[in-house]
A = this chain, B = another copy of it.
Amino acid sequence: MQSVKENGGHLSSNLGTVELILALHKVFSFPQDKLIFDVGHQAYVHKLLTGRSLENLRAQGGVSGFPDPFESEYDPFIAGHSGNSVAAGIGLCNARDLRYRVVSFIGDASLGNGLALEAVFSSEEKPKNFLVVLNDNGMSIRTNHSALYRSISKVTAKKRYRRFNSRMERTFKDTSAFGRYLRKIKYNVKGWLNKNDFFERCGFKYVGPVDGHDLSELLGVLNNIKQIDEPVLLHVITQKGRGYEAAEQDPARFHGVARGFAGGENSFSVALGRLLCSRAAADPSLVAVTAAMTDGVGLSDFAANFPQRLFDVGICEEYAVTMAAGMARGGLFPVVCLYSTFLQRAADQIIHDVCLQNLPVLFCVDRAGFVGSDGKTHQGLLDLPMLRAVPNLDIYAPKDCAELADVFDFARSRMRPALLRYPNGYCPNLGSVHKISDFYLWETLSDGDGPVVLACGARAVSRALEAKKLSGVKSAKIVNCRTVSPLDERFLDAIDKKKIITFEEGYAAGGFGSAVAEYYARQARTVQLKIMGADSVPVEHATAAQQAEKWKLTAADLARKIQAWEN
């Protein structure tokens, strides 16, 4: 817990699964048997048990916040995005003979994700020696035990029901929009959990529910499961934050941080929340859509003020986007708020359901750029390359929170698909020269007739201004390139005789600099152009500043390039 306190991370989900993970390790022979986590933020105990110190958790050089096969042979599969463990487990089973057992460990919230549902419904013949552990940490349980459960777990329904019903009552007090939505989606999925034939029909022997905090019972059940070779779904009831009173007492917070990144100030998230509240008050057609990220993207106040206009659909990014497209078709103005890394899950829905139909859906993409300690599974480096070629999609990157509002209103006025991207962490306001709707789309923040620095995104613009000072090159021109699609073509036409440096925090491949290079090359215009961006390699956990250093995207790195091109 101390490690989490110092380095940030996921607390309550780990406290809730201590006994369960101990029991799994006691009964199975990892790493020969394979344990696959799902959104691996419950894996801290597992990491400790497999000889990894949490002292430098999520810090550069320390262990990562998620399971990682490159970190340990005890982690057979990556687990940063929800819902993949059942599919990966089936694949692993399909690849092996019966030498080892495969255990997929999935939370009840992840079970509602499309990838997980595809896998659960995939085939009536599930692989042998395959165990899915359903870590169910929130809801009232209506037990309905199968003969199998009674025969191998030796507990009775009624006692169990009473025990958990009382324990879980507090969770029901969570009245946030997400809490309510989560309950709804959970009811649908979970209405079936205790109907054994839900999983039985999908090819699993259902065992459960079992008390996830009763170690001896868990050991007994797991040992029994180990004796049979059939595919089993073990339904375990756990309590998030178990053993840490503050966490046990504040269940609302558990949902909110369940999928979150490290806390701390996120300027843009806060600014977006305020902006949406203000615009929603004036525009009854504005609705907000998110996927289990209400707090993270800054929508807590919006949820309180406009509960009927917030749609938090749980970990279902695909549904969020297509549902938003349907809303736009019906005349609403949906603002879809997602982290960059999770937006990847909805790429096809953005293309097919939103952009091909040219519907006015606005994507507010948080955590774009280096995200820091959550590491490679959570980096926001691919949204721009991935979506830049998509027809009809406008892409914006405001330089600061003040400009967010200006860009938001401009994007709104164009009534077509648009995406606004911005980083996490603290971002200073940089002052404004002119609005996006005036004259040029782009904005020259510091003029000069020397090398032109085209900076894209809040961190890049801020560093570019600093780099000009560091470089001592007073003739450098620093430009805030707040649109990527469309580019400011008049601006580009005017500067093509100068030396140009593009600067962005993202993969260079297909990014902003790439767009500038293309613009000139499509017209066969020869320009002196330098692209600065990250190589396409995974970016490990560290602070965002350390990541920028490692990928040579600091103000000092840019200053050196400016100097080099001045000479």
Contacts and interface: CB of A to CB of B under 8 A. Distances in A.
Contact of A125 (B121, B184, B331, B376): B184
A433 interface: no
Contacts of A517: 514, 517-518, 521
A215 interface: no
A121 B188 contact: yes
Interface in A372-393: 376-377, 381-382, 385-392
A93 B329 CA distance: 10
B514 A510 contact: yes
Contacts of A80: 352, 356
13 contacts: A87-B318, A91-B334, A94-B330, A95-B326, A118-B319, A121-B188, A122-B188, A123-B181, A191-B201, A382-B390, A389-B507, A391-B538, A522-B532
Given A114-B114, A202-B188, A356-B376, A90 B510 contact: no
A102 to B, nearest CB: 8
Interface string A89-111: 11111111000000000000000
A348 interface: yes
Nearest to A90: B323
A351 interface: yes
B509 A389 contact: yes
A113 interface: yes
A12 interface: no
Contacts of A329: 69, 76-77, 88, 91-92, 95
A327 B118 contact: no
A91 B184 contact: no
A192 interface: yes
Interface stretch (A156-164, A230-238, A523-531): A523-531
A119 interface: yes
A252 interface: no
A25 interface: no
Nearest to A117: B117
Given A115-B349, A124-B187, A88 B325 contact: yes
Contacts of A331: 95-96
A491 interface: no
Contact of A510 (B327, B388, B526): B388
Given A114-B118, A331-B95, A526-B528, A385 B377 contact: no
Interface in A114-137: 114-115, 117-125
Given A77-B325, A508-B522, 20 more contacts: A69-B329, A87-B326, A88-B322, A89-B326, A91-B325, A92-B326, A92-B327, A96-B330, A114-B318, A115-B322, A122-B184, A123-B188, A124-B188, A389-B507, A389-B511, A391-B536, A391-B538, A518-B531, A524-B528, A524-B565
Interface string A290-330: 00000000000000000000010110101100111111111
A515 interface: yes
Nearest to A515: B509
A395 to B, nearest CB: 11
A347 interface: yes
A112 interface: yes
